[in-house]
Structure 1
Amino acid sequence: MMPGVAWLLVLLLLALLVAALHSWQRAPARSKIPRAQKRRVEALQRMEALARRLREQEPSLDPRPILELPLDRLVQKLWDEELSLESVLCSYLEEALTVHQEVNCLTDFLDECEEQLQALKKLKKTERGLLYGVPISLKDPFNCKGHDSTCGLAQFLEKPAAKDGVIVKVLKAQGAIPFVKTNIPQTLFSSECSNPIYGQTLNPLRLKKSPGGSSGGEGVLLAQGGSILGMGTDTGGSIRIPASFCGVCGLRTTGYRLSYSGVASAIKGQKSVTTVAGPMARDVESLVLCLRALLSEDMHRLDPTVPFMPFREEIYSSNQPLRIGYCESDGFTQPSPSMARAMRLTSRLLQDAGHQVIPFSIPRIEYAVKHLFVGGLFADGGATLLEKLEGDIVDPCMKTMINQLRLPDLLKCFLAWILKYIEPRASQNLEEMRGVRTPKKLWEQHSAVEEYRQEFIARWRSLDLDVLLTPAVDPAFDVGYSGKASDSFSYLHLYNILNFPIGVVRVTSVTPQDEEDLAFYKGYYGDSSDTYFREALQGSVGLPVAVQCIALPWEEELCLRFMKEVETLVKNHREPEL
């Protein structure tokens, strides 16, 4: 046999062995996933059964008036006993099931909500919390005793939480009734909302569109009225993207203002990029009420690493004019026509209301989003993420990233060199995905993040700003595009490096003119990411467009005050009908 042929046979055998090994490794996933899917079916059947039992107590119940109540009025009616706890829970159980049938957003039903309802009925009025009787939805990774927190990973299945996480405990102490968990992308490291266990969640506003991620299930459930208040998490926009794509409000809090104890994660230990928990709702006042409830003594008592900082009413209720930084573009991603128009509209409304709007530019944006964000996220070369996927089926929304991480370092380096002049941002991604490689380099990376944060704050202080206004990323992408156009999320990634509180508020909708102008979109780099961004946004007339309201660390109250100002001005401004 010729030596060349022999080598080919050896390589073929090796390839077959590798394929067989991967098939064997996936076997545990294949055995766990059908069982998890069956458990979800059974859980939702129990949810339907509870809804039926509650409805039998009030056969004439009309859920519409209940579902239309804003959170503050709902709480007041529950406190005054104008509404029963049963009627409110029944209304949201039924509506959540209806929404799920359309868009596939639920992963689990929290059976204990019925027992909690009965316990709340026994409380004296003086013992009722700020969220008394409010049904609340939770993103999948929030630990609830006896339930899996899967992060969309087979490896995390059949490992129910031994106890509630801190945030869940505080919400329950304040009278909230967690009743469902919602869908996420596999590993949470995606702006889509799909995983091999529970499948793809769709955007109810247009079913070919993504709801965003990773808190996508929360976004759609809130947008369609199946929940009135939810909790999400945010590593690179995971609260803000779904809020923007689905037309609801979301708040990314300062890291460590809320406890992260008892929230599952595919990656623990990375420090450069701050992952946080935060509320999502249909309006700003609901976010405020949730934060008032969360920032209680219970939060600090249950997790002493969280500072005891009660909600500062005097900051939120102030009516002093604001000095607002205005940043229509970050210089890295050209805003879409609707993003730019939303910024100009909001700026004009703010100025007409007596606020000062001052131009602001982002320092060293490419360095921040590539070297600090991507480099910080994959400081270990993706080893931890790949470890969590061992034996699992890789979801389509994750395949591009995972395939890149699995490349040998030499090949990453070679491809980065080839792409340097034709796809510079893709080249930088591959370079940063190699990881920092030594403890010394990791410390240097941490130092670089802190230096950049101080540089950003210095520019902010030099203009004597109170808050900052920037675009969100919208409208919603077509399903499957978030990974292809990931560079466009620079507007969101930056603030997880800075660790600033930041909220999303809807201000307008995509117009036919926005759609026409999109045809001429080129982007700043003219690369594949810019092309995919344009393609992802097509067919979006009528979909929501939001802005981001930003404050300095620990200034959630000021951030919310700014969000409320924007929300109020937009509500009082009548745009022409589409």
Structure 2
Amino acid sequence: MESTSSEAPWQAIARRKQASRDARIPSQWRIPLAHLPQDPPRFEDGPQSVLHVPAAVLSAEESQITENYSIATLVAAIARRKLLAETVISAFCHRAAVAHQLTNCLTEPLFAQAVERGRFLDQYMEEHGMPLGPLHGLPVSVKDTFDIKGVDSSTGLASLCFKPAEKNAPLVDLLLSLGAVVVAKTNVPQTLSSLDSVNNVFGRTMNPLNRLCTAGGSSGGEGVMVAMRGSLLGIGTDLGGSIRIPAMVNGVYGFKPSNLRLPYGGQAVLVPEGMTRIGVQPVAGPLAQSMEDINFVMKELVPRASLWGEDCVLGEWADADLSKPLQGSGPDGQVVIGVLRNDGNCTLLPPVDRILSEVVSSLSEYANITVVEVPTPTAWTQAQSAMNELIAIDGGVHMGQLLGSTGEPLVPWVKPRFKVGEPCSLTRLAELQAWRSQLELEMLQIWSETDQYGRKRRKLDAVICAVAPHPVPEIERFNSLGYTSSFVLFDYPAGTIPVRNMVEEDLNLGKALDGQSLGVWDDHCRELWDERTVNRKVYLGTPLSIQVVVPRLEDEKLGKLMALIDGVVKSHKISSKLLE
């Protein structure tokens, strides 16, 4: 483990850190070699999914516990003492260990302390005759950026390894106060600025649905953990799409709240403290297997968030009761959903446009929903440029120092894109924020209409659009942020709904893409459909998703609308199958 004189300091640190991580996976949980996938994955070797492996190595009881419950039914089973919290947590820890060995999704396995907490929760139930809280015994994983006392928040940087946090992040404390159990922390990309979760300390996280494709970033490890059911709730953060994109590529649900809804403090310090307060504020949010799960958890977190986070306001979150029609802004109370087809920078590739049209078709047949096409707002087109500048106002100085202190190199995708420069001047920052205000005001106009007397009324309840203009790309090829980062600039709540997987019909094999490129960003997007640069069959079996967006602070409404849209689309798919 000692370093040699010819190597940079980061290399010895990385070896020590990986050894420390590996030592926390019990030997009895090691997967037999026959179940481990080959690396590097190769297209010619056929399907690259590992979702089936946990069932082959877990016990029947562990499989039943980790596969057959929603969040609500699991905490109810523990509350009724049908299941012991310790048994549940042990099962999920084992599954998380399996998921990690297949995908490299963990940075900090917390299995021993998680099982101990499960035992404590059982003792609490025995002594008090009731659960500690509404999330009693719920297995949770969190992105590596969140501080947990006594645990590193290294984010895959050697300079931050072996520097454990002194206290928990407020959101971690909030989850613990409700009875949740944190089973692990998960992997992220170097500098948190890539959409492929790879760094020098922990390596690359692989997509469990197709190991040839990206696992996303920067909450990539969370997307994988939830997809593999190593935890039932993942907590990520989102600045450019870092919750919604991992949800998209891993086929799960992701929810980016507005600012002020969930505590964000207690994060690894990767930019000067306070910098996000004057630039663009990232937010914390959940990833889960269903909208039912997300709504269940947000109902408990949001009303309490202002007690824990100085960056939160008092909020409410009622149950999403789909048995009653949701009241919308239409003339007769219909829910009015706008469709944004194009951000003006990247044209939707055929399968993404098709899935959006399929969802529109499903929604249009629902009695209480009206769907309207919305022209691309100029503000949406310009928002990506504004975000690019606001995200970089610190000049990357602190990150450069963290990397330089151990001689750590940039990983290949980040290398041509990360540069240390001068921090933004106060005057330029003011100009950027003035530009942002102008774009916000322009974007506001899509939501309402004005009558002849100057009175405004709401005309849209939500918009749906793509999460990205392309399907789930191969490793290192995700390059389009405009469909997600813009809604951070506008501070709109937004979430990802998986609809279905890619099939042969979606590939349009042998057919070139029509139309002219919209520019450089579109050129890169089109390369992902150009059969000279990609075998489109690599996309088979990967998820196709949509994004749902509502105005600022309408998070509770977003939860209800996502549940409604998800339910309508699922019902339509079931009905279509019955007619075949």
TM-score band (shorter)?
Answer: 0.7 to 0.9
| Structure 1 residue 456 corresponds to structure 2 residue 469 | no
Distance 2:388 2:534 in 1: 22
CA distance in 2 between counterparts of 1:536 and 1:265 reads 38
Question: SS of the counterpart of 1:244?
Answer: helix
Query: How many Å separate the matches in 2 of 1:290 and 1:389?
Result: 37
Q: Secondary structure at the match of 2:284?
A: strand
The answer as to whether partners of 1:549 and 1:563 remain within 8 angstroms in 2 is yes
Contact 2:147/2:169 (CA < 8 Å) preserved in 1? yes
Structure 1 range deviating more: 509-518 or 334-343: 509-518
Aligned to 2:35: none
Give the aligned partner of residue 509 of structure 1: 501
**1:121 shift after superposition:** 1.6
Q: Which whole-Å CA distance do the structure 2 matches of 1:573 and 1:437 have between them? A: 50
Aligned to 1:378: 392
Q: 1:192 aligns with which of 196, 211, 214?
A: 196
1:149-164 aligned within 5 A: 149-164=153-168
**Alpha carbons 1:478, 1:537 under 8 Å: kept:** no
Match of 2:172 in 1: 168
Distance in 2 (alpha carbons) for counterparts of 1:518 and 1:169: 54
Q: CA deviation at 1:332?
A: 1.2
Kindly state the Cα deviation for residue 159 of structure 1 after the two structures are TM-superposed: 1.1
After TM superposition, the structure 1 stretch with the greater mean CA deviation from structure 2, 131-140 or 564-573, is 564-573
How many angstroms does 1:567 deviate by? 1.3
The offset of 1:175, in angstroms, is: 0.8
The 5 A counterparts of 1:104-119 are 104-110=104-110, 111-119=112-120
Match of 1:362 among 362, 367, 377: 377
Letter in 2 for 1:477: P
Q: Would the alpha carbon gap of residues 386 and 60 (structure 1) be closer, same or farther in structure 2, given more than 3 Å must change? A: closer
Normalised to the residue count of structure 2, the TM-score between the two structures is: 0.83
Shift of 1:127: 4.8
1:525 partner letter: G
Deviation at 1:315, TM superposition (A): 8.8
2:283 corresponding residue in structure 1: 276
- SS of residue in 1 equivalent to 2:431: helix
Gap change, CA 1:114 and 1:368, over 3 Å in 2: same
Residue 348 of structure 1: how far off its partner (Å): 1.5
| Residue identity opposite 2:95 in structure 1 | E
Q: Deviations over 1:322-354 (max 9, x none)?
A: 111111221211111111111111111112112
Contact 1:47 1:109 in 2 (8 A): no
Equivalent pair of 1:171/1:293 in contact (CA under 8 Å): no
Aligned length in residues:
512
CA deviations over 1:289-331 (Å, ceiling 9, x no partner): 111221243x322323311213244798762231111112212
Contact 2:29-2:98 within 8 A present in 1 as well: no
Aligned residues of 1:272 and 1:376 also touching (Cα < 8 A): yes
Match of 1:122 in 2: 123
Contact 1:315 1:558 in 2 (8 A): no
Distance 1:26 1:306, change over 3 A: farther
Matched, 1:340 2:353: yes
* Structure 2 counterpart SS, 1:277: strand
Which residue, out of 426, 448, 461, partners 1:439? 426
* 1:323 partnered with 2:336: yes
Query: Does the aligned pair in 2 maintain the 1:151–1:266 contact within 8 Å?
Result: no
**Which residue of 2 is the match for residue 231 of structure 1?**
235
Q: Distance in 1 between matches of 2:291 and 2:557?
A: 12
TM-score by length of 1: 0.83
Indicate yes or no: 2:499 matched with 1:525: no
Residues 198 and 494 of structure 1: CA distance in aligned 2, closer, same or farther (over 3 Å): same
Unaligned runs of 5+ in 1: 1-22, 50-58, 407-433
Instruction: Give the structure 1 partner of residue 53 of structure 2.
Output: none
| Bigger shift: residues 270-279 or 96-105 | 270-279
- How far does residue 87 in structure 1 lie from its aligned partner after superposition? 2.2
- Matching residue's letter, 2:373: P
CA distance in structure 2 between the aligned counterparts of 1:100 and 1:435, rounded to whole angstroms = 39
1:441–1:308 CA distance, 2 compared to 1 (3 A)? same
Q: How does 1:461-480 map onto structure 2 within 5 Å?
A: 461-462=448-449, 464-473=459-468, 474-480=470-476
| 1:350 equivalent among 349, 363, 367 | 363
Q: Distance in 2 between matches of 1:453 and 1:24?
A: 54
- Aligned AA for 2:364? Q
Cα deviation per residue 1:527-567 (whole Å; 9 max; x = unaligned)? 64134333568321221100001111111111111111121
Match for 1:533: what amino acid? L
Change (3 A) 1:444 1:536: farther
User: Does the CA contact (< 8 Å) of 1:333 and 1:524 recur in 2?
Assistant: yes
CA distance in 2 between counterparts of 1:292 and 1:438 reads 41
Aligned with residue 141 of structure 2, among 118, 137, 144: 137
**Are residues 472 and 166 of structure 1, via their aligned partners in 2, closer, same or farther at CA, if it must alter by over 3 Å?**
same
Q: Is the 8 A contact 1:185 1:193 kept in 2?
A: yes
Which amino acid is 2:291 matched to? V
1:510 to 1:255, Cα distance in 2 relative to 1, 3 A? same
Distance 1:536 1:468 in 2: 31
Q: Mark the CA change 1:365 to 1:309 in structure 2 (over 3 Å): closer, same or farther.
A: closer
1:396 to 412, 424, 433: 412
Distance 1:190 1:513 in 2: 31
Q: Counterpart in 1 of 2:8?
A: 27
Alignment equivalent of 1:289, drawn from 288, 291, 296: 296
2-side partners of 1:384 and 1:356: how far apart? 49
Taking only aligned residues, the RMSD between alpha carbons, in angstroms, comes to 2.6
Question: Is the partner of 1:267 in helix, strand or coil?
Answer: coil
- State the distance in 2 between where 1:364 and 1:554 align: 19
Secondary structure of 1:401's partner?
Answer: coil
Rounded Cα–Cα distance in structure 2 between residues aligned with 1:230 and 1:524: 36
Map residues 17-96 of structure 1 onto 2, 5 A cutoff: 27-45=8-26, 48=29, 62-67=61-66, 68-96=68-96
Q: C-alpha separation between the residues in 1 aligned to 2:394 and 2:403?
A: 15
CA contact (8 A) 2:146 2:153 kept: yes
Determine the C-alpha separation between the residues in 2 that align with 1:296 and 1:192.
Answer: 34
Query: Is 2:223–2:246's contact at 8 Å kept on the other side of the alignment?
Result: yes
Decide whether the 8 Å contact of 2:157 with 2:201 is kept in 1: yes
1:412-439, CA deviations, whole angstroms, 9 ceiling, x for partnerless residues? xxxxxxxxxxxxxxxxxxxxxx777421
What are the superposed Cα offsets for residues 218-242 of structure 1, whole Å, 9 maximum, x if unpaired? 1112112222111011110000111
User: Structure 2 stretches of 5 or more lacking a match?
Assistant: 31-57, 328-333, 450-457
Given the superposition, is the C-alpha separation of residues 467 and 47 from structure 1 closer, same or farther in structure 2, using an over 3 Å criterion?
A: farther
Kindly indicate whether the alpha-carbon contact (under 8 Å) linking 2:251 and 2:543 is maintained by their aligned counterparts in 1.
yes
Structure (1/2) with the larger helix percentage? 1
Q: What is the match of residue 418 of structure 1?
A: none
1:489-533 residue CA offsets vs partner (Å, 9 max, x unmatched): 211111111111101001122222321268523643376413433
- Please list, as runs of the form range in 1=range in 2, the aligned pairs for 1:244-283 lying within 5 A after superposition: 244-268=248-272, 269-270=275-276, 271-283=278-290
In 2, the alpha carbon distance for the partners of 1:378 and 1:26 equals 31
**What secondary structure is seen at the aligned counterpart in 2 of 1:398?**
coil
- In structure 2, give the amino acid aligned to 1:70: S
Q: CA deviation at 1:61?
A: 5.8
Aligned: 1:306 with 2:312: yes
Mark the CA change 1:155 to 1:471 in structure 2 (over 3 Å): closer, same or farther.
same
Deviation at 1:30, TM superposition (A): 2.4
Classify the secondary structure of the residue corresponding to 1:304.
coil
Return closer, same or farther for 1:537/1:308 CA change in 2, 3 Å cut-off.
farther
